[in-house]
Structure formats: C-alpha cells, structure tokens
Amino acid sequence: MNEMVITREQREARLEGMGCKRKRVEDVRFTQGRGNYVDDIKMPNMVHGDFVRSQYAHAKIVKIDASKAKALPGVIAVLTAEDLKPLGLHWMPTLAGDVQAVLADGKVCFQNQEIAFVVAENRYITDDAIQLIEVEYEELPVVVDPFQSMAPDAPVLRPDLDGKMTGAHGPRKHHNHIFEWTIGDQSATDLAFETADVTVKEMLSYHRTHPSPLETCQCLASFDKIKGELTVYGTFQAPHVIRTVASLLSKIPEHKIHVIAPDIGGGFGNKVGAYAGYICSIVATIVTGVPVKWVEDRMENLSTTSFARDYHMTTEIAATKDGKVTGLRVHVLADHGAFDACADPSKWPAGFMNIVTGSYDFPTAHLAVDGVYTNKAPGGVAYRCSFRVTEAAYCIERGMDILAQKLGMDPADLRLKNFIRREQFPYQSALGWEYDSGDYHTAMNKAMEAISYRALRAEQKAKQEAFRRGETREIMGIGVSFFTEIVGAGPSKNCDILGVAMFDSAEIRIHPTGSIIARMGSKSQGQGHETTWAQIIATELGIPADDIMIEEGNTDTAPYGLGTYGSRSTPVAGAAIAMAARKIKNKAQMIAAHLLEVSEYDLEWDIDGFRVKGNPERSKTMKEIAWASYNSPPPGLEPGLEAVNYYDPPNMTYPFGAYFCVMDIDVDTGVAKIRRFYALDDCGTRINPMIIEGQVHGGLTEAFAIAMGQEIKYDELGNVVGASFMDFFIPTAVETPHWETDHTVTPSPHHPIGAKGVGESPNVGGVPAFSNAVNDAFGFLGSTHIQMPHDAWRVWEAAKKLGVHA
C-alpha cells in the first residue's frame, strides 16, 4: 500500500532524471583508484615500445646505427622508416588531408619527431636501448616564425610535397603554404570599411598551447596470428574512427579489429588524432607476435602530440560613430607545424573559425585563413573547444573591446547595442551559419546586474585616479566576454571525417526486470557520461537512473559513433539517446495498451509509465511493460524492448554565455590577482546542474591557465622549451580563482531534449574574459592591445612600455 502514498514528486525524484544533481557514478571507482586506464592493462608476454626522437627541429638524417641497441639483451626489435616502407606504413594520412611521417623518412621536421621505435622486454631496457642508438644528422635551416614561413627564400620544409601546388583544400601559394580558406562577401565587406565612420585594426595572436590531459596518450596492441585479429586498447576519444583508420591502413578487416577505449584520464582534444605510437605499436605486435605497449611521457606529450591554437588573427571592425558594427574583416595566419594534422571535420581546414562574427549582428563579414608549415610539432586540435571556436571567440571579443575603446564606449554597452536580438533567431550569420536560438540581452543584463557592473566601473575609475595621484601601485581591470559557441558536429551535409559522416548513436536494451544497458558511440574522458546519459534515459523511459548501465568505448559492442570532442556528445549522442528511448516508448505504449485493453490513443505518459486518460488508477509502469514485452507481448508484436538510433543532427547547437572577470594588477611585479570571476552559461536544457558546474569550473581553470601563461614555446633554433610541468602552467588549487556560476535556459529548438552542450563553453568564453581584463586594466594608460599569455613578466613588460615604472 506504500506505493499509493508516494507523491508524483517522489516518483519523479526517484528516477534521478534530467535536471537532477545526480552524483557522478563513475567517481566511485575514480576516487578509490579503481579506474581502469590503458596503463593498468597488462597482457601475458607484453613488451614495451618507445621512440628515439629528433634532437633537431630540421635536419637530414644521414645515418641511423641501431647495432648497439639491437645487441643489448632484452631488446626485441628496432623499427625505422626503412622497416615500415615495405608495409607502406612509413607515412600515414592525417585527418586534415595531409600525410605525416610515422617514422622520419630521411629527414626530421620538428624537434622530438619520431625516428625509430624500440621494442624491449621492459621499459628500462627500452630506454637503455634508446640511449644506444646513434643518429647522424645534417642540420637544415629552421622556420619557427609563421610570419617568415612564406618568405621567398624560406627553406623547403616538405620536399615530399615538391611540385604539388594543390593541396587537400585547394591551391598552395608557396612551398610552405598548406591552404587558403576564405568565406564571406569580400567586396561588400571592403565597401563597409570604405564607408565606415570608425574602423579598428589589430593583430591578435593566440599563442600555441597544449591540452595536456593528466593521462598522456598511450596504447596496447595485441595481434593474434591464429585468428588474424588485432586488439588495441588506447586513449581514444573516437575509438570507432580509429578502428576504421586502422583497418584501412593495415588491411585487416574491420570486424577483426577490436578497438577498446577504457577509462580515459582527460582528453581535451589531445586524444582525437592518430599518432605514430599507435601505428608503431600495431606494426610491432604484428612483427613480434606479442602484445606491445606504448606510453608517452609528459615531455613527449607536450612536445609531440597535438598542440592547440597558434592562430595569428589580423582583425578589423567597421562601425558607425555611435557604435553600430557594419563590417568584420579577419585574416588568420595559422601555424600548423610540420604536418597538417589538424583534427577538424575534413571540409573545414580552419574549423568553424567562421563563427568569428560572434554574438553580433554584422551585416557583412569576410574571413581568410592561410595555413602554413613551420618546424614545430603538428596538431592544431580543438583544446576544450569546438573546432577553432575559442580562437574565433578570442578574436571577436578582443576586437569588440578594442572598438569600444576607440569609440569611448563602455564595452558592455557596445555589446548590448550590437547583439543579435531574440526575435532574429533562427539567425543567418554573414559567414554562413544558422544560429538556432539565443537570448543574449537577457543573459547579459542578468550577468551585469549580478556583478554590479556599473559600480565596478565606478570603483575602477576611482582607482585609476588614485593610481595617477601615486597613491597605489595597483590597477584594476574588468574583463567582459560574451561568446557564442558552435558545437555538435555535425550534420552530414557539411561534416565528415575522412568521409565518415559525423552522426552519433545509441543502443538501449531494457531487460525483462526493467533495468537497462545502453551503449553509445561517444566516449567519456571525464565528462560523466555514465551519469548523464542514464539521466536522459531515466526521464524518457521512467526507469531510475541507478537501474541503467552505460557502456562506451568498446567498438565490438557499442554502436558506431564519431566519439567525444567539440562538445558534440550531448548535441549528437545525447539526441540519439532520446530518439532511441522514444522508439522504445512507442513500442511500450503498444504493449501497455494491450495489457490495459485500451487503445494506444487512450493512454498518456505519466513519469514512469502509461495511464489511461481520465482514469489514472489504471496504469502500467515501465517495469511491468518490460516484463510483458518479453513474456506476453501483444499478438503479432516482436518480443523484447530495445532500440538503436543513429542521429544525424539537422543543425549545430549554439550555446552562449556572459563572463566577467575582475582583476587587480600589481604594476611593479606584473602579478595579476583575480578578484572575481562570474560565468553565466546558457547551454539550453540542463541535464545535470552539478556536472555542468563542474564542467564550467574545469573549463574556466584551463582558460585561466591559457590566458595567464600556459604556452608551448620554441626558441629560434626550433627547440621546444618549457615542455614539462616545471614551466607549462597547470594551475593548482592555490592559483585557481573562485568561480561564480549562473545560467539562463534557452533550449535548442531542433534538439530532441533542447540541450546544447557545455563542456567547452568556459574555455571559449573564459580566455577573452581574462585577456580583456588585463587589457582593460591598462587601457587608461594608453594601451590598445597586449598579446597573450599574460604571465607576470609579460604584464610587467607591458607596464614598462607604458612608462609606469619611471
């Protein structure tokens, strides 16, 4: 009888469905050290591989002498490009339509490039053997600065492309040029600038950095010669794509390749691509017949696999004298390193950089991107952002501040004046996107009120006067950032990776007792899918989330999907989950009608089951329906209760947010203290507010790191400097500011549950908020733009240039 007194609210709460701050179920194992990561997996007879890497950024390889290494007891094999050549595996295709040397083929093009792969009985012997391999180099001139890469006399970095004046994305202008990508109406934009009251122009550099997940890239490959089957455990954000690529390269049929991504310790874009370590481990296991493990160390991770950013954006905005924007013109010089291994959808060599018009109603715009080769590591991944979206957001958000300064307008007011208005959605942007939904004014006004924006400006003014009077050596900056993201790649009409359309998938199976196993084509690296995917199903099907098990990452069992990056999981896989659940619900309704002896149309959904309209006492719970589906289905209806959905999204989703940073800078040391950081996010329907908050905290911490000092730096010889955690800035709890989070909810009109994705918004919106705060602090002293990263010494240099130390 207890069942009868349970209220509807209690029934709903019991599900822990969408909107519930459900605790992360995966944390039970993670916080007890019981996760199962690649390096935890050990196989009988397993051996270890690692690389001999280039000392130089650009050199011919005259000779590789591995004789001493091969003579060392415990060494099993040493692979070089010569060994891979007969297999056709010494070069591999990149996601961007270029090729990349798996092992250096006669020459190296960046420091730490892979030259030889040593396989030995244990990691100690592997490393001993690496020390014994002698590589003779002939140094070549180096190109580090992308602005020098297309000089007429610049050295040829890629002789393998000699004479190929057309690349994967059209004509090449120079031997170190990769592509030019343009979009927008150039003549209309030029005209807007010719007739503008006010224009601004600034070269905004977004420096090279790295996603640096806690767990580096690694894999364990095992080839069974008897069955002809290959098993690869790896740190793969997109395991299915890795399986397809492995099959195409190795010629092993796809069904005989088992790719498994176990627990992953962070990805942030680092684990999307295919790396030499994977290929060499696979070749080595085929050659040696024993399982081969490859584990990157920290320096290898930071200096070889997948840098991010390195975009140099000449940004121009045209406006009327009262601050209405009339045109945007951006030219990007994109440093892609030695090989174009950007992880973008194949038709988008500059990612979705054309979201650069941001949240503003630009009547016209033009964007041109030139990709160039340099002697730096390849990569160009989307580090906690959708493809090049954080670069775009930085570009427009700095640009708007620079325009506000020129106009003498408040930067928040300038944004309010130029926002796309709520009634303009769906909005067609000047650079080709259809923004699905938004309510920017509401979000901005809420944020400004929450932080008492006008009062902060008044305080800043008083502090500036005190500084001028010599009463303080501290200046105050208020960073404003209003970003629009574009996530959820993506519709097959414009998104694919090497021809594989960017759908995603879910398979849901209800067991007879009403519990569920569900598998997806996405792959959590810490996002909490085991928690949130169950919440979507719980709400859709009325089964408690605790009775739902989520599995991802095993390509043998999970439906084919394109994986997790670019905030695509909720927009794409999340939609597939809802759609698969709805298929089940439709069948469940037929079964319930049969059980209740009414027509399907007489039933309505009620939290955890169906009830008869007008007679709510007569009902069947989903659990009862599940049992019946197997054991007493309606005549003629197939038994069982399961469904699969492959979801091809009709459009991207467009999360947005308003971020404010309040900063105090000590001009004598350049040290910046974050006094306050407020982040309002609108990611549409909120599946788990606690996970959203965690995502925002993590993304803001990375944004803080990037803006305030995190950098992959090269010296003039192409030596990568600071590629260890001694120098590479990972904030600890001590440095990390306190985050204030807030939200508005504007559901996506085309997504089945209205969700938009959130994991990457804080990185996209956060970086300009920090940078704008530093720039805002110095604006009253006559500065227009200070390049990132804003670590103490660079801030001090900026202060010095403005004469404040005199």
Partner 1 sequence: MIPGQFVYHRPASIAEAVAVLAAHGDEARPLSGGHSLIPMMKLRMATPEHLVDLAGISELKGISQQGQTIVIGAMTTQADLIKSDLLASALPIIRETSLQIADPQIRTKGTIGGNVANGDPGNDMPGLMQCLGATYHLSGASGERTVAARDFYQGAYFTSLDVGEILTSISIPVPPAGHGYAYEKLKRKIGDYATAATAVILTMADGKVATCSIALTNVSSTPLFAEEAAQLCLGTSLDAATLKAAGEAAKSISDPAADGRGTAEYRREMAGVVTARALAKAASRAMKGA
Q: Contact residues for partner 1 (CB under 8 A)?
A: 123-124, 126-128, 131, 297-299, 668-671, 709, 713, 721-722, 726-727, 729, 731-732, 734-735, 791-793, 796-797, 805
Helix, strand, coil percentages in the chain from 3-state DSSP, rounded to 5: 30, 25, 40
Cα 125 to Cα 774: distance, rounded to the nearest angstrom: 49
Q: Which residue has the tokens 């619900």?
A: 585
Q: What angle do CA 520, 524, 525 make, to 5 degrees?
A: 160
Nearer to partner 1, 446 or 713 (CB): 713
* Residue environment code for 663-692, b if the CB has 16+ CB neighbours within 10 A, otherwise e: bbbbbeebebebbbbbbbbbbbbbbbeebb
CA atoms within 13 A on the CB side of 231: 17
Nearer to partner 1, 453 or 796 (CB): 796
* Min separation Cβ 57 and partner 1, Å: 19
* Min separation Cβ 295 and partner 1, Å: 10
Clarify whether 237 is annotated catalytic: yes
Cα 133 to Cα 267: distance, rounded to the nearest angstrom: 32
Coil, strand or helix at 470: coil
Class of residue 781 by CB neighbours under 10 A (exposed 0-12, middle 13-18, buried 19+): middle
Cα 294 to Cα 47: distance, rounded to the nearest angstrom: 9
Cα 11 to Cα 621: distance, rounded to the nearest angstrom: 11
Cα-flanking dihedrals φ and ψ of residue 81, to 5°?
Answer: -55, -35
Nearer to partner 1, 709 or 737 (CB): 709
Nearer to partner 1, 712 or 773 (CB): 712
* Min separation Cβ 97 and partner 1, Å: 34
Nearer to partner 1, 122 or 557 (CB): 122
* Min separation Cβ 707 and partner 1, Å: 14
Nearer to partner 1, 151 or 721 (CB): 721
Q: Which of 22, 384, 388, 794 is catalytic?
A: 384
Clarify whether 385 is annotated catalytic: yes
Neighbours of 497 (CB within 10 A): 21
* Min separation Cβ 711 and partner 1, Å: 8
Structure tokens at 385: 């952002």
* Min separation Cβ 289 and partner 1, Å: 25
Q: Which of 109, 385, 395, 495 is catalytic?
A: 385
* Min separation Cβ 470 and partner 1, Å: 11
Cα 633 to Cα 627: distance, rounded to the nearest angstrom: 9
Q: What angle do CA 181, 185, 188 make, to 5 degrees?
A: 145
Helix axes 389-407, 761-779, angle to 10 degrees: 30
- Write the CB contacts of 265 (distance below 8 Å, at least 6 apart in sequence): 35, 37, 213, 214, 215, 235, 525, 526
Nearer to partner 1, 455 or 726 (CB): 726
Nearer to partner 1, 677 or 729 (CB): 729
Q: Which residue has the tokens 């006067």?
A: 465
* Min separation Cβ 81 and partner 1, Å: 24
Active site positions, annotated: 237, 384-385, 760
